[in-house]
Structure formats: C-alpha cells, structure tokens
Structure 1
C-alpha cells in the first residue's frame, strides 16, 4: 500500500508539472486561437475572449483551468466549437489505442522470434544479415516510411487505401508504419539478450547434463532473455504514442496525434492540453504496469 500511494503521488506530481509547463509554453507562443488574416470586429473579439476566459490574467486562466481539470472537465475546444475536449479525446483515444496496440503486438510477434533466431546463431551470416536489416529499420524515420508505404501499396499496387478510417483495410498501413522501427528495436534487444543468456554458465552446465536445446530455450533461457524486452516496453509504447502524430497526419486518421498537431497549429490551447494530459496519464500508467510486470518476472526486483 505504501508503494502504491508513493507511485500515485509521483504520478500526480508528474502530470501537474507536465500540464503546467505545457500551459505556459502554449501561452508564450506567438499568435492566438482567434488570430486570422481578416481580424474580427473588436466587439466580436472581446466576446470570444470573454467566452473562453482569455480576457483574464494568465495566473487566473491557469487556476480556472486547473479547477476544471480537477472536476474532470478539459474545457471547450477553440477549433471545434461544437465539441468539448472531453468528447474529442473520447473519440480519438480508441483510434490511437487500436493502432498503437496492434503495432506493438506486431513488433513483439515478429521481433522476438527474429531476435531468438539471431541470438542462437550469434556471429553467423544470418545473424549479421538480420541485424543489418534491423539497423536499416531503426534508421529510417516514420515520416519517410509512411509515404513510401502509401506509394507502394496504395498508388503502385493499389492493394490498400492511401488514407481514411472506417474499415479494416485502413488500419493495415498505419500499423505497419508504426511497427517497423519497433520490430527492429525489439529484434536487436532480444538478439543481444538471447546471445548473452545462452552463453551463461548455468546453461552450459544444463547442456552438459544432456538437456535438449529446445528444453534449454523454453525452460531456462527464454524467461531471463525476455527481461530486457519487458523493460523496453515503456519506451516502445512511448515511441508508438509520439510516432502516431506523424502517421495519423499522413494517413488522415482521426486520432490523438492528429488532434495534437492540428491543435498546436491553430493555437487550440485546451485541445493540446487535453491531449497532453491524456497521453501523459497513459505513459505514467504504462510505466507502472511495466514495472509490476518486471517485478513479477524477476525475483531480484521483488526482493529489492
């Protein structure tokens, strides 16, 4: 209970610092949510500022926004006046979670077997080839991978749609674009861990007793070799969340990343802050779950 309360307190402080920093940085950026090429009449501008509390001083705006957030209200959207930020987040979050979850499952489902295969053949030509391909996957950014996938599968081959949302065919290319770098990271981490684990003294002793390679792998090597991959899940999920901003823009997906980009470009303060708070809460929750999973798999962490 003491550990849980300490974790919750750290999470609240982290989210408060994140929200505060984002709030004041947004206000410090040039321009405003209602600045257009053709300025509105002064009375209309004053009414809009009063409606969205932009006529208050900066500390008053901050305290009013904190009070609303404490009551679960993320405020109205400046860019989408017919929707609140709560409604936009509720619509976008399942889309981003579906894309990110499928991308991470694909990365684990391909990266772990490739890493095991390469780690058991460390130093061989297959190991070098797989790690070379993985290095290419890491080095190519998502804003290059996503248009290339559109060009190949949507324009040239015409197998999949170039963008949009609503059918399973719209999910394939965004998930692949999000998963490719993570497949490469997962394969490299699993390969290094498996190679180190397979050369451990206790496995050499078990091998000398006549245990089969399959038994050594499944019963003795796999669990300790997976520990670095479990530790990598936190940055992997964060990478998926941050990478979704690029991928959702390219494929026109109505997810959290797209709303964040549009909100930042249009100075939609409440929308950006709502997305930041939601993503920050997800990252904190992910870290807590991954730490618990690591402690469950590694007795040394439980004793610590």
Structure 2
C-alpha cells in the first residue's frame, strides 16, 4: 500500500508540474500586452512595469523565478490590481466558491444516489422514468442555462427568493441548485446502473433466501456496494464544485473565484489567470489523490489489486 501511495504522490507532483509549465508558457505565448489596455503611457513607466513583473528578463529566467515563488506559496502580484496580490484574491474568492460548491455537492449527494437507487428498484416503472428524465435534463442542459431558467422562473413566481447577490443563505439556493443538477444527474445514472448490477449478484439472492428483510438487504448489501463507483468519481466532482462554476458566479453576481477568473481574462491579468488555473489544478489533483486513498479503505479488493501491479 505504501508503495502504491508513493507512486500516486509522485505522479501527482509530475502532473502538477506539467500543468504549471504548460500554463506558464501558454500564457507567455499569447499575442498582446497586458499593459496596452492601460492607454498610452510614457516609455519610462512602461519599462518600470515590465521590470516590476520581471517581464524584462529572458523567458527561461521568468519560469525559474515563477517556480521558486510557487514553492513558497506565492502566486505573484496582480497585473491590474494595485492593492491585492493574486494570493489575496484567491483567499477572498475561494471560501465563497467553496461554500457554494459544498452546498451544491450536498444537494447532489442526497438526491443523486437516491434517485438512482429508486430507478433501479422500480426498473421500467414510473419512478424509473421520472428519475431518468431528471438525469437526462441534468446532463443535457448546461448549468448556466439552467441558472438562467431558474432566474426567469423565480423572478416571475417566487418573490421572496433573490436572484442575485451574496451574504445570506437564501442567496445561495438558486446558484447551488443550478450547479448541483449535473453531478446529481451523473450520480443518479451511475447509481442506477451499479444498483441493477448488484441486485443480480448471488450474495443478494442468498441474503433474501435467508429471510432477511427487503429493506435490510437493500440498505446493508445493495446500496453499500452499489455506491462504490460514485466514490471513485467524487474527487473530480468535489474539486469542480469547490472551485465553483465560473459562469454561474457571473450570472448570479457571486464574488467567488470564478468571478476573479472571468475578470482576469477580460483584463488580460496574466498572473491572476495563471494563479487561479494552477490553484484549481492543485485542488483537483489533491482531491483525486485523497479519494483514491479513501476508495482503497472502503473496498479492500481495490487495495489488493493495486498492490499487485
């Protein structure tokens, strides 16, 4: 097990380094100048800006300096903000995105597997059809379109529920619901197919033949084993929701990490673009690593298989 974890850790570091390298050189290869939108400026001021951000140095030197700063946890200075660094913006925006993402994740975890289990237990019946219709809608309709639909519906029919802003729990309901539909639908479909497979296993039939109640068989045996595939994809789903949906935050006027990312693109704030991209990569890789470890403890068979490789 230790050998496998060490291997996964090394692969995670290599993956992160690759993302950092590609992001750095890609941003520096984009045509244009981050300071051109500032308007016409004296050459001396322009040279000072280049010097301040290290853009007057050769590209390979900039890369080495950037890596050293990242090792210290420093994402650099924003090229547009004079009062906040990239770290400050991440510290301010990430908690908002994380709170919204956790709320969306909770909705998805409660209703996704539940709908999938009901669909499997009532295969080819009304609950199955309803669950799969919801799943198809959730997968087919992008979250930003669903968010727009919810805004239009609430604006006309639910006066007490705000359609934008931040600060109270009621402000999070609509964006969290819009963000939760895709993972909810994905979990429902995954749970349905996994549950159908588990219900046909011999140990389920054996448990039924021993006189164990249907509820006990479903909860203790079927659901427990059917939910394992969902655990394997939680890393990606959690990281996506924690960082937040950039477009959803823009639509609902939420001051999260996504809003900073959108602004950084519009303003050509290259250090902020790189910082948020790399921060997102760190969250994603970390969650995948942790979920992989958790999966090994939940299902010992996985541990034995991976140790044998």
Could you tell me how far apart the structure 2 residues matched to 1:64 and 1:154 are?
50
Could you tell me how far apart the structure 1 residues matched to 2:78 and 2:226 are?
47
Could you tell me how far apart the structure 1 residues matched to 2:294 and 2:133 are?
31
Task: Decide whether the 8 Å contact of 1:223 with 1:297 is kept in 2.
Answer: no
1:161 counterpart residue number: 162
Shift of 1:166: 1.5
Task: Decide whether the 8 Å contact of 2:9 with 2:289 is kept in 1.
Answer: no
1:33 counterpart residue number: 34
1:184 counterpart residue number: 185
2:132 counterpart residue number: 131
Q: Deviations over 1:19-54 (max 9, x none)?
A: 110111111122221112732222221111111111
Shift of 1:242: 6.8
User: Aligned with 1:36: secondary structure?
Assistant: helix
Could you tell me how far apart the structure 1 residues matched to 2:5 and 2:20 are?
22
Task: Decide whether the 8 Å contact of 1:142 with 1:243 is kept in 2.
Answer: no
User: Aligned with 2:34: secondary structure?
Assistant: coil
Could you tell me how far apart the structure 2 residues matched to 1:69 and 1:109 are?
37
2:121 counterpart residue number: 120
Structure 1 stretches lacking a partner, 5+ long = none
TM-score (normalised: structure 2): 0.93
User: Aligned with 2:148: secondary structure?
Assistant: helix
TM-score (normalised: structure 1): 0.94
Aligned pairs for 1:95-114 within 5 A:
95-114=96-115
1:294 counterpart residue number: 295
Could you tell me how far apart the structure 2 residues matched to 1:209 and 1:156 are?
53
2:65 counterpart residue number: 64
User: Aligned with 1:40: secondary structure?
Assistant: coil
Shift of 1:287: 0.7
Could you tell me how far apart the structure 1 residues matched to 2:300 and 2:39 are?
65
Q: Relative to 1, partners in 2 of residues 1:212 and 1:18: Cα closer, same or farther, differing over 3 Å? A: same
Structure 2 stretches lacking a partner, 5+ long = none
Shift of 1:133: 2.3
Of 155-164 and 112-121, deviating more is 155-164
1:213 counterpart residue number: 214
1:285 counterpart residue number: 286
Shift of 1:208: 2.0
Of 33-42 and 202-211, deviating more is 33-42
Shift of 1:247: 0.8
Shift of 1:56: 1.6
Shift of 1:126: 2.2
Shift of 1:243: 5.7
User: Aligned with 2:76: secondary structure?
Assistant: coil
Could you tell me how far apart the structure 1 residues matched to 2:138 and 2:147 are?
13
1:147 counterpart residue number: 148
Q: Relative to 1, partners in 2 of residues 1:214 and 1:182: Cα closer, same or farther, differing over 3 Å? A: same
Note the aligned Cα RMSD (angstroms).
1.7
1:256 counterpart residue number: 257
Matched, 1:198 2:199: yes
Shift of 1:16: 1.1
Q: Deviations over 1:41-73 (max 9, x none)?
A: 222211111111112222121111112112221
Could you tell me how far apart the structure 2 residues matched to 1:276 and 1:239 are?
12
Shift of 1:9: 2.1
User: Aligned with 1:231: secondary structure?
Assistant: helix
Aligned pairs for 1:219-234 within 5 A:
219-234=220-235
